[in-house]
Amino acid sequence: MIDSHLHLQDCIGAENPDGMVGKLRQIGVTQLMVNSTSPSDWRQVKCLALKYPEVIPSFGVHPWKVESLAPGWLGDLESLLVEFPDACVGEIGLDKWIANHDLPLQKEILSEQLALAFRRDRPVTFHCLQAWGSLLSCYDESPYRGSFLLHSYGGPGEMIDDWVTRGAYFSISGYFFREEKKAKLSVFESIPRERILLETDAPDMALEESLVRYRGDGIGNHPANIEVVYEAFAQWAGEPLPRIREMVRENFQRFLKGIQDEAA
């Protein structure tokens, strides 16, 4: 199994990292896209990538963190991409949901990171809440045309075609299998299967309590619950679990390679 989006650095404070990664290996997890959110956790993600071969690091500045940046942050980010040739850029994006958001500043920081991803030819992971039109405009105004992931996609169904033609992959988190959130799954019925990925977003986006299989002290959503996300998606899709594992593995490899024209 592959977890296409999580924050492993925020999970290991309450559990021994070797024990947590060992548990993930035991249930069959082979790759983890570990996303940073600001310069404050870049080093943690770097250390995880150096220690565990399953970890694919993703370095970036989350829209919630744009006001805390110090001068030189962009050069530091580029240095990490040089150090890790397989690293992605993320988690980056726009967010109008948070109180007192500074959308112009978010757009500025996003644009700089998209230009960097273009220069370094790296896949991108986007965060977006209540700013889908603005995100589409920022993407179109940037030079970036590589593959990108709209993580835990909660955007409108009418924008699916716009995103697909631009090369988007879409991930489903276990949060969508909560009873009160299942209506959001209908959006994924119109997304080509070759563009779908699965994620935990651990330690965030917790599963419905009745679905939780793995717990950890101080961890709202344990990374090992990726197993449950696969099972829930297979049941929803009406397909055998081995086929879903194969589908996600193939899709994830295309995403990493920047392949985006199958569904365009």
67 part of a folded domain: yes
Among candidate residues 132, 116, 2, the one with its CA nearest the CA of residue 54 = 2
Count of H-run helices and E-run strands, the chain: 8, 8
263 part of a folded domain: no
168 part of a folded domain: yes
pLDDT digits (tens, 9 = 90+) for 108-138: 999 999 999 999 999 999 999 999 999 999 9
Name the helix (H) or strand (E) containing 162: helix 160-165
Sign of the torsion formed by the C-alpha atoms of 149, 127, 78 and 116: positive
- pLDDT, position 180: 86
Model confidence at 177, pLDDT cuts 50, 70, 90, reads very high
Domain range for 54: 2-257
195 part of a folded domain: yes
77 part of a folded domain: yes
10 part of a folded domain: yes
Tokens of 21: 């990664």
Q: Cα dihedral angle (219, 220, 225, 226), rounded to 10 degrees? A: -100
Q: Alpha-carbon distance 256 to 44, whole Å?
A: 22
- Contacting residues for 59 by C-beta, under 8 A, at least 6 apart: 36, 42, 45, 46, 77, 80, 81, 84, 87, 88, 89, 90
Model confidence at 14, pLDDT cuts 50, 70, 90, reads low
Residues 60-73 have a mean pLDDT of 97
Residues 178-198 have a mean pLDDT of 91
Domain count, the chain: 1
pTM: 0.95
- pLDDT, position 264: 45
262 part of a folded domain: no
- pLDDT, position 11: 92
Q: What is the CATH number of the domain that holds 241?
A: 3.20.20.140
Does the pLDDT value for residue 1 go beyond 80? yes
The length of the chain, given as a count of residues: 264
Does the pLDDT value for residue 260 go beyond 70? no
Q: Alpha-carbon distance 34 to 58, whole Å?
A: 6
